[in-house]
Amino acid sequence: MIFSKIKEHFLRKALSQSADTNKSIVPSQTIIRIGILTLEELNATFDFKERIKKVFPKTRSINLYGYRTFKKSDEKSFYFFSENDFDWKGRIKDSSLQSFVDAPFDLLICYFDTNNIYLESLVKQSQASFKIGFSKVNQSLFDLEISESIEKVDNFNAEVKKYLQILGSKAS
């Protein structure tokens, strides 16, 4: 319990220190690699990977990582992470999670509309060229925020595609 509080303290500190260094970049001309960050229960409900394939059919690679609360009964997965994948100083311990963060995605779409220190930390650390998310979370995280309800995922995806086309990306 005390280690989780310490871990969260270091993650919050890192987020607040890096808030000043957020640089806004126009997305690359062609969206080839897309990363998705979400919560396990939201992905089970909405199946984001399939929805993104419908919106961006020419995308070559779609990688998804979801947060789930740690339970001893859960098997290790390359699609989900928990608070146990961070050390007590808030650094990533899991190599597959680190490789997701280091991946040079053309676009990172974040499907979560509540504050989650672990997801926010991954968004901040991500090497993605352009980051999109819900406006209710943390303004310093995303290059583009869309104000929509999480239940209206198809509307959110349509807005993402529309804004990417306005910004000059080829995302079809």
pLDDT for 125: 93
What is the sign of the dihedral through the CA atoms of 41, 139, 132 and 134? Answer: positive
Residues with Cβ within 8 Å of 122's Cβ and at least 6 positions away in sequence, in order, are: 37, 65, 97, 100, 101
Overall pTM > 0.75: yes
pLDDT at position 159: 94
What Å distances lie between residue 125 and 6, 11, 92, CA to CA? Answer: 19, 11, 10
Cβ atoms 111, 42 nearer than 8 A: yes
Which tokens is 15 given?
A: 């987020």
Question: Count of H helices and E strands in the chain?
Answer: 6, 6
What is the reported pLDDT for 119? 95
What residue segments make up the domains of the chain, in order of their start?
2-21+30-166
How much is the pLDDT for 74? 85
Residue in 153, 147, 97 with CA at minimum distance from that of residue 126: 97
Looking at 3.40.50, 3.40.30, 1.10.10, 1.10.287, the CATH number of the domain 2-21+30-166 comes to: 3.40.50
- Tens digits of pLDDT across the chain (172 residues): 666 777 677 767 776 665 544 555 666 678 899 999 999 999 999 999 999 999 999 888 999 999 999 988 888 888 899 999 998 888 999 999 999 999 999 999 999 999 999 999 999 999 999 999 999 888 889 999 999 999 999 999 999 999 998 888 765 5
Q: Which amino acid is at 145?
A: E
**8 Å CB contact between 113 and 141:** no
